Structure 1
Amino acid sequence: MSVAGSSLQDMTTLPARPNTALLVIDVQQGVVASAHERDAVVANIGTLVEQARAAGTPVVWVQHSDDHLAKGTEAWQYVPELPRRESEPLVHKNYGDSFEGTDLEAVLARTGIGHLVVAGAETDACIRSTIHGAFVRGYDVTLVADAHTTNDNSKWGAPPPDKVITHTNLYWQYHRGPGRTAGVVETKDVEFS
């Protein structure tokens, strides 16, 4: 993957896993129905999916279910603007971190994935949990700045959604660890290769 014309060096600590995948997290009807800038974010994710497919980069879909988001309901379904191809892996999860209690690690290992480009929802829950979970497991993790969103949780003390998104983008671009990279890039600057 190159970003803004320069090569993003994959430095994953996972041996023999030089490949990149686009990880699309929880863009489900009940999750993003009233999310911040929903339509623009979904459109950006759609652009990323098409670019990844055109470049032969794997697209891995993650779908959440729990007591408030029942499997099989309309709210649980992915938004219609983002149709998954049958050949693309779908990982079902019940926790914020997409790796917890799922087969995501096995899915990524099978195709030598060591670098994740992450998009989806919700920024202050499943996105944050997953980017941190991936990083501590040895993955390089690039968050797409304008391709993740959240709902307004300010009535429970959270900052407004635009501030949550801005803060997550800010701190993730400076996140570091031995032998791994973290980064933030806008949709227009992502080039899968």
Structure 2
Amino acid sequence: MNDTVLIIIDIQNMYFEEGSYKLFDADEASLKAAKILNHFRSKNLPVIYIKHLFKDNKITKQELMRKCEIHKNVMPVHGETIMEKNYPSSFLNTDLKTCLDDLKASKLVVAGMMSHMCIDTTVRAAQNYGYDVTVLEDACTTKNLNTKNGEIHASVVHDVFMASLNGTFARVMTVDEYIGAENQQ
């Protein structure tokens, strides 16, 4: 398992607070992410945090910086890598691939936000590099989306994206299923 890396994508304050970015059940997803984070830490396995650099001219720069910080439930500790990104893919214009190469990673475990955007895009991009990816569905979440036919609830959006990733792009499972399967090895 020493070739396995946990990637925590965009679990940032912005998604927990009232406003246009608040996500469905963000606290629950972040607590599941914290559980897998603690599991990786207990085994001294590498963790990489991805942090999206939001732009918002309606608030002060200081407030924007606070909202962009990684959420307290999954706060990094000394030695864990933090990478910043400007696009949905965690690979696009970042050093993620180089970092994974340096770690000799072949397996990625992914948790984070948002299922329909940065999780989906990053997981699909990971296939281009041949990574074996596991997405922890209960450690991810998203928001309601609007279509010409009305609003789609976040739980439906999440389920659709998890179903579309499962099998072709990743293995999709819960945090407990992942830890249980690993303990049986």
Q: TM-score range, shorter-chain basis?
A: 0.7 to 0.9
Deviations 1:136-193 (A, max 9, x none): 12111111011101122336766221011111121222215xxxxx201101112357
For residues 66 and 39 of structure 1, do their structure 2 counterparts lie closer, same or farther at Cα, with a shift above 3 Å needed?
closer
Query: Number of aligned pairs?
Result: 172
Could you say which residue in structure 2 is the equivalent of 1:28?
A: 12
Cα separation, 1, equivalents of 2:96 and 2:56: 22
Could you say which residue in structure 2 is the equivalent of 1:78?
A: 70
Higher relative contact order (CA 8 A, sep 6+): 1
- The correspondence for 2:32, drawn from 32, 44, 52, is 44
Could you say which residue in structure 1 is the equivalent of 2:121?
A: 129
- The correspondence for 1:167, drawn from 160, 166, 176, is 160
Deviation at 1:134, TM superposition (A): 0.7
Secondary structure in 2 matching 1:56: coil
Q: Which amino acid aligns with 2:134?
A: T
For residues 158 and 122 of structure 1, do their structure 2 counterparts lie closer, same or farther at Cα, with a shift above 3 Å needed?
farther
Cα separation, 1, equivalents of 2:6 and 2:16: 19
Please tell me the root mean square deviation across aligned C-alpha atoms, in Å: 2.1
TM-score (norm 2): 0.85
Could you say which residue in structure 2 is the equivalent of 1:113?
A: 105
Q: Which amino acid aligns with 2:92?
A: E
Could you say which residue in structure 2 is the equivalent of 1:8?
A: none
Cα separation, 1, equivalents of 2:137 and 2:123: 13
Cα separation, 1, equivalents of 2:71 and 2:166: 28
Cα separation, 2, equivalents of 1:164 and 1:152: 7
For residues 52 and 159 of structure 1, do their structure 2 counterparts lie closer, same or farther at Cα, with a shift above 3 Å needed?
same
Deviation at 1:99, TM superposition (A): 0.3
Query: Which has more helix, going by share of residues?
Result: 2
- Identify unmatched segments of 5+ residues in structure 1: 2-17, 177-181
Deviation at 1:66, TM superposition (A): 3.6
The answer as to whether partners of 2:16 and 2:27 remain within 8 angstroms in 1 is no
For residues 50 and 118 of structure 1, do their structure 2 counterparts lie closer, same or farther at Cα, with a shift above 3 Å needed?
same
Deviation at 1:86, TM superposition (A): 1.9
Detail structure 1 runs of 4+ shifted over 6 Å in the superposition: 69-72
Deviations 1:89-127 (A, max 9, x none): 111101100000000011111111111110000111111
